[in-house]
A and B are shown apart, each in its own frame.
Chain A
Amino acid sequence: MEKFTPIESRPAPLVEVGIIGWMRRNLFSSIPNTLVTIFTAYMLWIVLVPFLNWAFISSDWFGESRHDCTSGGACWVFVTVRWNLFMYGFYPEDSYWRPNLAFILLIAIIAWLSIPNLPFKKWVGIAAITIYPVVAYTLLYGGFGLDVIPTHRWGGLMLTLVLALIGIVVAIPIGILLALGRRSEMPVIKMVCVIFIEFWRGVPLITILFMASVMLPLFFAGGTDADKLMRALIGIVMFQSAYMAEVVRGGLQALSKGQFEGADALGLSYWQKMNLVVLPQALKIMIPGIVNTLISLFKDTSLIVIIGLLDVLGMVRQALSDPAWLGYPAEGYLFAAFMFWIFCFSMSRYSIYLEDRLNTGHRN
């Protein structure tokens, strides 16, 4: 009896596997699909190729003045000669180490807190909200033997980060308190929180900044010179905490009533209930919402240009009016956009990572 030998399986036809197969399935599966593919490819060709050529292939990167831009493409020299200005504004050059150190410390703390399995997290966390702000303030502004560098010399990316970080760090706790207050059963607290939230949410940020910079100084005349950056910062924090409060409220309402009742049944106090049962679940649900608010806050910081504070976008616009460098708006704005994109994109990736890590099965 002959033993049955199956025919050896042949590889799938070349047109069905690999890149070609993928393309046949996804790009050229039908006539309309093929037409769309060809059209899109053509559009990419006529847009992307000149852009890449302009931005990378025939561009100039190093030099001293506009005369070094000879290849006809993008003149990145405009950005490189002003790199320090775009990063630090008018901060004195011999003190650049101070903001650098402050941000390195911050990154170290964030890394420590976000990498799993490192010890002493609790203590690092406590230091981050108690000691670090004092250290950072001293480094950036001065005091304790360091020269005072007034805030009107701050600028560039450094100012953007200062505004965004302080906005974020202060707005989250205030926002949580406001949201809890709004759901409180005590009428006065509830009233105050509702009025606060609805007031700040009802005015555009640009109006708040204008009020802070144009109207407020008229009210404290006679030398009481509240710092312009401080005024803007308070405005931003108020505005963002109102938004944050509504995000948090959304998270609180998403929790089923049973969680609250269960905690009550266990005899937990109000704060125990919030800290141990409600907020850990609610905050997890809120991550996309919170990060969304943070990203919009980060971008909103560029509005301070209208009150004459020069963040990274402001420094770029300022640089565009240097008579020796007129005519490079494309390079300048692209650079600013890229800076913003880097930070916003990292925030968004980090939020996805957090969601995955904290996922305990509530998400489908």
Chain B
Amino acid sequence: MKKIATIVGAAMAVTAAAGVNASTLDSVKNRGALQCGVSDGLPGFSATDSAGRWQGLDADFCRAVAAAVLGDAEKVNFVSLTATERFTALQSGEIDVLSRNSTWTLTRDASLGLNFAGVNYYDGQGFLVSKDLGVDSALELDGASVCIQSGTTTELNLADYFRMNGMSYEPVLYDTSDQTTAGFEAGRCDILTSDQSQLSALRLQLSNPDAAVVLPEIISKEPLGPVVRQGDDVWFNIVKWTLFAKINAEEMGITSANADEMLSSDDPSVQRLLGSSGNMGELLRLENNWAYNIVKQVGNYGEVFERTVGTGSPLNIERGLNALWTNGGIQYAPPVR
């Protein structure tokens, strides 16, 4: 299996170097639409609503790139991809940007011919426990039985964490996340572990969501971010700065509601970001109002977060690590100057 992965990786890297030569920016402009790879359904990140419209943090990032490049957030062709085919789809040019809850790791960055353009969501493995258990911290979980989806990195992280803290546990393995939830609900285990963003969705599927609580501990690092092909730095910059523009806009207090008033703001950094002074857009080879389009049509990082996974959504995930650095989180963007 490892061998196959290496061969596929090498093939990808070769194709990346030789394959797609044309500038991604030009081909997106010629096509008049962004080809954006999303998941085949992850609540809050990319899933379709009952009208068939893609919603979620990842889907809205696609819209932000389209707004920056084409001036219209709706000019996106969403391509739903499974976990195995996502990187190939990017390498073969089927999509221009991959925004599909992909964890940024060294192996992926270095051996697949890909570039991660930043972190859109800091995820990590967490625990869901029943309130009856009366546990406030994961360190009190010695001897607990744990429902896990088998064959995932989750299983390994869990083993590491319990061994490191000198605690014992009894694993209860399931094949799918639906079964895992059902097992937890039926009382087969005391706790359920998975990525924190998914725990919130799983909790909602319980017949009484209020009876369970997500513990604050995170035991692994899962930084999720958009990915582009290596070797096209112009496009890499655009995707990277689309994310930074969303974060900077939140820091400066620019929202989709007040973007028009902020155009005439006296603050020079706001002016530079929104394009009312300076030529930041041109440096990225975009229109000067690129960031204005993002914020106006899609919203700043905080708005999108609250709407898709945060308190304004059924998932109700706390900002936590994803709060701005000024608010105790680690979302930080370089300055626009």
Which residues of A are interface residues toward B (Cβ below 8 A)? 81-82, 84-85, 90, 150, 152, 210, 213-215, 217-218, 220-223, 225, 228, 305-308, 310, 314, 317-327, 329
Taking a contact as CB atoms closer than 8 A, the residue among B79, B82, B94 that contacts A306 in the complex is B82
How far, in Å, is A132 (CB) from chain B's closest CB? 29
- Report chain A residues within 8 Å CB of B314: 323-324, 326
- Rounded to whole angstroms, the CA-CA distance of A232 and B80 in the bound complex is 15
Indicate if the CB atoms of A323 and B40 lie closer than 8 Å: no
> Is B118 engaged at the interface, CB distance under 8 Å to the other chain?
no
**Chain B, range 47-86, C-beta contacts under 8 Å to A:** 47-50, 52, 55, 77, 79-82, 84-85
Residues on B lying within 8 angstroms of A by beta carbon are 8, 11-12, 15, 18-22, 40-44, 47-50, 52, 55, 77, 79-82, 84-85, 88-89, 91-94, 178, 201, 204-205, 313-315
The secondary-structure label for the interface of chain A is helix
Pair A321/B47 contact, Cβ less than 8 Å:
yes
The answer to whether residues A214 and B84 also contact, given A225-B93, A321-B47 and a CB cut-off of 8 A, is yes
Q: Is the CB of B205 within 8 A of A318?
A: no
The answer to whether A326 touches B77, judged by C-beta atoms less than 8 angstroms apart, is no
Bound CA–CA A321/B41 (angstroms): 5
Which A residues lie within 8 Å of B77 (CB)?
150, 152
Is B49 in contact with A223, judged by CB distance below 8 angstroms? no
- B50:A325 contact, CB within 8 angstroms: yes
Residues of chain A within 8 A (CB-CB) of B18 are 221-222
Give A85 to B80 CA distance when docked, in angstroms: 15
B20 touches A222 (CB 8 A): yes
The 9 closest A-B pairs by CB, nearest first: A221-B19, A217-B92, A321-B41, A327-B205, A321-B47, A318-B41, A323-B43, A81-B50, A323-B314
Q: Write the nearest CB–CB distance from B201 to chain A, whole angstroms.
A: 6
A326 with B82: CB separation less than 8 A:
no
Closest A residue to B314 using CB positions: A323
> When the two chains form their complex, are residues B50 and A217 in contact, meaning their CB atoms are under 8 A apart?
no
Complex CA distance for A326 and B85, rounded to whole angstroms: 26
User: Once bound together, how far apart are the Cα atoms of A305 and B20, in whole Å?
Assistant: 27
Contact across chains for A310 and B43 when beta carbons are under 8 A apart: no
Nearest B residue to A322 by beta-carbon distance?
B47
**A323 CA to B209 CA, complexed, in Å:** 14
Contact in complex: A324, B15 (CB < 8 Å): no
A to B contact number (C-beta, < 8 Å): 108
Q: Which residues of B contact A220 (CB under 8 A)?
A: 92
A213 vs B205: C-alpha distance in the bound complex, in angstroms?
Answer: 33
Q: Which residue of chain A has the shortest Cβ distance to B54 in the bound complex?
A: A90
Distance between Cα atoms of A220 and B91 in the complex (Å): 11
A-B residue pairs in contact (CB < 8 Å), sample of 16: A217-B89, A217-B92, A217-B94, A218-B12, A218-B15, A221-B15, A308-B81, A314-B40, A318-B40, A318-B48, A318-B80, A319-B48, A322-B55, A323-B313, A324-B314, A326-B204
Q: Provide the residues of chain A in CB contact with B21, threshold 8 Å.
A: 222
Nearest B residue to A314 via CB reads B40
| Chain A contacts for B92, CB-based, 8 A | 217-218, 220-221, 225
Contact between chains at B178 and A228 (CB < 8 Å): no
| A326 to B315 alpha-carbon distance, docked (Å) | 10
In the bound complex, do residue B52 and residue A85 qualify as a contact, i.e. CB atoms below 8 Å apart?
Answer: yes
Alpha-carbon distance between A49 and B151 when the two chains are bound, in angstroms: 38
A329 touches B88 (CB 8 A): no
CB distance from B282 to the nearest CB of A (A): 28
Residues of B within 8 A of A310 (CB): 40, 80
